[in-house]
Amino acid sequence: MEPARILSGLLAVNRVLFGANYLARPESAGPTWIGRRAARTVGGRLMTRSQAARDVGLGIGALWALAHGRDDEARRWMTAHALADGVDTAATFVVRGRLPDDGRMALAIGGVSTAVALLGATRLRSGASPG
């Protein structure tokens, strides 16, 4: 199995799990991303859940395409992952000084996630076996 397929699948699973956690427990975004106080506000919970729903959808879409050997679709899902993660990372970078640990953990996660998504968006090949 090719590395781009494995990493793309792992990213998609990770995204579904993170999203499901943030949907159920939006305050868990506090310690490593937006700060505990912001995560407890109505607006913080709303925005966290909004992003969580986006993440679950992106992850499920990518997993479906990968599982069915539809690499053209999987590349589009990975492009959407890269766009979402790249914007999240850039937005986090802008306000990093007001975040827990200067946003280091969130920036690291966002940067790695963006890189893996870009790998999938550029390296998945049609005709690769789905399993």
Residue 73 identity:
E
Q: Which residue has the higher pLDDT, 126 or 103?
A: 103
Residue 70 lies in a domain: yes
pLDDT computed for residue 49 by the predictor: 97
Inside any domain, residue 129: no
Residue that wins the pLDDT comparison between 61 and 100: 61
- In angstroms, rounded to a whole number, what is the distance separating the alpha carbons of residues 120 and 8? 6
Domain count, the chain: 1
Whole domain around residue 51: which residue ranges?
Answer: 3-123
CA distance 106 to 60: 22
- Is residue 126 over pLDDT 70? no
CA pseudo-torsion sign 116, 118, 123, 124: positive
What is the pLDDT confidence band of residue 77, given thresholds at 50, 70 and 90? very high
Mean pLDDT of 48-53: 96
Q: Classify residue 128: in a domain, yes or no.
A: no
Q: Is residue 78 part of a domain?
A: yes
> CA nearest 54: which of 29, 23, 76, 25?
23
